[in-house]
Amino acid sequence: MSKDTEIKLVGQPIFGQLLKLIDKSIFISLVRENKSDHYYKAFKSWDHLVTMLFGILSRCDSMAEICEGLRALSGKLNHLGLQKAPAKSTAGDGLRNRDSSFFEALYYKLADKYKGFLSDSRTYGLTFKELLIIDSTTIRLFSDILKGVGRNPKNDGKKKGGLKVHMLIDGVQSVAKFVRITAAKVHDKNFLTQITVPAHSMLVFDRAYNYYIQFAKWTEQNIYFVTRQKKNAICEILETITDKVLQKDIPGVYKEEIIEVTYKENKEEKKLKLRRIYYCDQKMRHFVFITNNFDITAEEVAFIYKKRWQIELLFKKMKQNFQLHYFYGENENAIRTQVWCTLITQLLLTVLQKMANVKKAFSTIATLIRIHLISLLDVYELLRNVKRTYAKKKKDALTLSLFPGTP
């Protein structure tokens, strides 16, 4: 039987230890640059951030729950840098009026600070300056806040609108480098025109982003991409490089072609030459990839596209572990602020997970933090603790209680 494992007690709650990952000098500098404390006497930017992170980590459903929860922590608020719990009306006004761009800037500062620390060694060996992954996820809202997308429901049902989080992440660090929050009706391909990437980078995205004009511009700038081709895409086959039959249940590339697509720019018809690769994976699913890079092998194209799954995992973490079903404010600025604070929370927990050097799932980390948010435990000892406690059996006492009078 293993011995009892004690988790060390410290002088600060786990929430306070997590907040220490935010460099106060960076925070104060951003407050001055954005003037985010102007016109706020009682609810400063730090109070706002702590209030939001508390609600997100504890999965509160409303601002009333957050404020009541903080009020119950009156003896520990000084560890969080708060003098007192905010009133519901005060916190609500701050959420509506304090510009969400402040929290956006804070996220980018934190992502830049920890970008080297969060590097993923599994992507080393790639020959590109940067591997960048693009995708979006939709968060459902009522259509009276942000314009919805799709057809109106039958039987007079209420149409659901929402916002769309467009994201570009670094494939090496699995951290968002550029995020744009729009109404859900905005098409994914519009995001491609808003990003700036260095030459010799490799972009990976799904076929929803097929946009030939932008593909041509990237080709001129020596920016490469890998994506799937749309099923209804029209193109001309210039050359067939490989065409073979794979053995049964054996994955791999079975066809490679040079194709040419036609697009219009300023009413002028133009052509773009691309590679098209047919690939069958281990589950016998078939994919058709297109790329403007003619130097890498067809197998490398398939491998690069597999890296796109990292951004899907990032969205999954965000939606499953944090509160994005209920919003603490009713205007667009409040919703954007909550999304940015959710991204900040996810980044901090990712850093914490790597600092603790544990193999626990991200969902387990988030749950442990939520349960012990105000506990005076060492957060790293908590996350690293893997031993179970067993009650040691006392054979003599058990025998006497079961068989009284027996020697």
The radius of gyration computed from the CA coordinates of the chain, to the nearest angstrom, equals 26
Cα–Cα distance between 354 and 338 in angstroms, integer? 24
Q: Residue 135: which of 186, 201, 191, 197 has the closest Cα?
A: 191
Cα distances from 65 to residues 171, 345, 360, in angstroms, run 37, 19, 29
Phi, psi of 279 (to 5 degrees): -135, 140
Q: Give Cα separations from 283 to 33, 280, 286 (angstroms).
A: 52, 8, 9
For the residues of 116-177, what is the DSSP string, one character each?
A: TTT--GGGTT--SS-EEEEEEEEEEEETTTS---SPPPSTTPPPEEEEEEEEEEETTTTEEE
3-state secondary structure labels for all residues of 45-59: HHHHHHHHHHHHHHC
Structure tokens at 364: 């387990």
CB distance 161 to 180 below 8 Å: no
Helix (H) or strand (E) holding 204: strand 202-204
CA angle in degrees (0–180, nearest 5) for 269-262-168: 110
| pLDDT tens-digit series, residues 242-262 | 999 888 888 899 999 999 999
Cα separation, 220 vs 109, in Å, equals: 31
Q: Which residues of the chain are modeled with pLDDT < 50?
A: 1-4, 123-125, 143, 148-151, 390-391, 393, 396-403
Q: H helices of 293-331, where?
A: 298-306, 309-321
pTM here is: 0.81
pLDDT for residue 385 = 82
d(CA 352, CA 71) in angstroms, rounded, equals 27
151-184 residue pLDDT tens: 455 555 555 567 888 999 888 767 788 888 888 8
- Number of other residues whose CB lies within 10 A of the CB of residue 283: 6
pLDDT for position 155? 53
